[in-house]
């Protein structure tokens, strides 16, 4: 199966060609870089309008170069949500037009489920718990009876957005995550809030306290170090509890914050200590990318899970537990 995937929920205008025959995935991305501050929805949408046609054309050229005739695309998959409405609508329009032009079915993919499924696909794990640590989201997912259940999640902001808000306070350019990771290397621990309630976690208190600490003169590297220790500790604690509650012995990581070495180290150590397996996809599949959309798109297409153009409106608040997991329901673990 050859699927052309399109992603554009927030900052990454991206198109990919995935061929399930040889498991190769070609990805072309064009990121939106805000000149100042964080992601502005209108600017992000303007970026999508220019960049989506370009990345799609590049993916199509790749399809034609690797397959005689018209490229052999069997379906067009696109991220239906969750994400910024203005961005999603551009992606949806592009996907519908392309599916009609190629005369192939359309597959509507949930972006968060794609973050999970790319880890499952690359690891070969049967029934993992997934920690999604992305910009706008933070949650722990577990599969049960045909759905990915949200077993733990943030009570306020997404994890990447929380870190980015802190770095905006320091006037560091977006995205802040990699800069905090770098600064944390020279830091020592100072006390900051740590909030886990049941299976949920909260980042707003620690963010305010971190900003205040910097304003009070605590060295920035110490604040960055402690921020990482606490935030990633919270995520690791809930991921561990999810493994324990479900009896799963496999954990996959998803989302752009998953590129952080310290988070991967903590999760790896936690899994090792309890005899579980841990898998983190390579960075090009962790941050927003159309590869994961094309890969899940191919699986859904093979399960017959396509969507008619007239039913394919985008879903900005598309929660992962709203997805009927057609491709696993036939084989419950
Ligand atoms: P979502 O998938 O929820 O729609 P998103 O579209 O914002 O989220 P992602 O690509 O999953 O995007 O993640 C982007 C986030 O990842 C940004 O907040 C960025 O600061 C963060 N990030 C990137 N690299 C690192 C890193 N090394 N350490 C920590 N955070 C990082």
Q: And the tokens for 120?
A: 């499952």
Residues with CB under 6 A from ligand 1: 9-11, 83, 111, 134-137, 158, 160-161, 163-164, 175-178, 181, 255-257, 259-260, 287-288
Judge if 27 and 101 occupy the same domain.
Answer: yes
3-state secondary structure 26-57: EEEEEECCCCCCCCCHHHHHHHHHHHHHHHHH
Work out the number of other CB atoms within 10 angstroms of the CB of residue 245.
Answer: 13
> 84-123 pLDDT, tens per residue?
999 999 999 999 999 999 999 999 999 999 999 999 999 9
Tell me the CA–centroid distance for residue 237 and ligand 1, in Å: 20
Are 168 and 250 in a shared domain? yes
Residue in 154, 179, 194, 192 with CA at minimum distance from that of residue 319: 154
Containing domain of residue 209, as a range? 126-283
Answer yes or no: do 163 and 278 share one domain.
Answer: yes
Query: Based on the domain organization, do 275 and 308 belong to the same domain?
Result: no
> b/e string for 286-312 if b means 16 or more Cβ within 10 A?
bbbbbbbbbbbbbbbbeeebbbeeeeb
Tell me, yes or no, whether 162 and 224 share the same domain. Answer: yes
Q: Is residue 176 domain-shared with residue 200, that is, in the same domain?
A: yes
Question: What is the value of ipTM here, to two decimals?
Answer: 0.97
Overall domain count for the chain: 2
Residue 169 lies in a domain: yes
Calculate the CA 60 to chain-centre distance: 24
pLDDT, tens only, 190-244:
999 999 999 999 999 999 999 999 999 999 999 999 999 999 999 999 999 999 9
Q: Do 289 and 275 sit in the same domain of this protein?
A: no
Q: Is 331 exposed, middle or buried (0-12, 13-18, 19+ CB in 10 A)?
A: exposed
If asked whether residues 229 and 317 sit together in one domain, one would say no
CA 106 to centroid of chain Cα atoms:
21
Considering the domain architecture, whether residues 52 and 140 belong to the same structural domain is answered as no
* pTM score, whole prediction: 0.96
CATH code (residue 29): 3.30.420.40
Using alpha carbons, list the distances in angstroms from residue 92 to 4, 52, 106, 116, 333: 13, 11, 10, 21, 33
Q: Same structural domain for residues 143 and 256?
A: yes
49-78: per-residue pLDDT in tens? 999 999 999 999 999 999 988 899 999 999
């Amino acid at each position: 199966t050859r699927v052309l995937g399109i992603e554009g929920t927030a900052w990454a205008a991206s198109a990919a060609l995935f061929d399930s025959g040889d498991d190769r995935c070609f990805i072309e991305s064009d990121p939106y870089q805000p000149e100042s501050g964080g992601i502005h929805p209108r600017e992000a949408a303007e970026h999508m309008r220019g960049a989506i046609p370009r990345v799609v054309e590049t993916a199509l050229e790749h399809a034609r170069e690797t397959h005689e005739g018209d490229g052999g695309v069997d379906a067009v998959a696109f991220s239906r949500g969750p994400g910024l409405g203005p961005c999603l609508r551009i992606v949806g329009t592009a996907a519908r037009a392309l599916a009609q032009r190629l005369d192939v079915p359309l597959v509507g993919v949930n972006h968060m489920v794609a973050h999970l499924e790319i880890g499952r696909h690359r690891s070969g794990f049967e029934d993992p718990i997934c920690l999604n640590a992305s910009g706008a989201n933070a949650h722990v997912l577990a599969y049960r009876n045909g759905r990915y259940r949200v077993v733990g999640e943030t009570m306020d902001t997404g994890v990447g957005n929380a870190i980015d808000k802190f770095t905006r306070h320091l006037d560091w350019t977006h995205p802040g995550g990699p800069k905090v990771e770098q600064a944390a290397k020279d830091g020592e621990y100072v006390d900051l809030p740590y909030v886990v309630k049941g299976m949920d976690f909260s980042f707003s208190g620690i963010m305010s306290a971190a900003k205040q600490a910097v304003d009070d003169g605590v060295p920035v590297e110490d604040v960055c170090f402690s921020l990482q220790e606490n935030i990633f500790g919270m995520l690791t604690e809930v991921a561990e509890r999810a493994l324990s509650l479900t009896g799963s012995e496999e954990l996959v990581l998803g989302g752009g914050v998953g590129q952080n070495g310290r988070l991967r180290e903590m999760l790896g150590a936690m899994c090792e200590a309890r005899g579980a397996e841990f898998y983190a996809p390579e960075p090009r599949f962790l941050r927003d990318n159309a590869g994961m959309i094309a890969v899940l798109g191919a699986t859904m297409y093979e399960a017959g899970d396509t969507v008619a153009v007239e039913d394919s409106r985008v879903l900005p608040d598309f929660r992962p537990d709203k997805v009927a997991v057609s491709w696993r329901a036939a084989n419950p673990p």
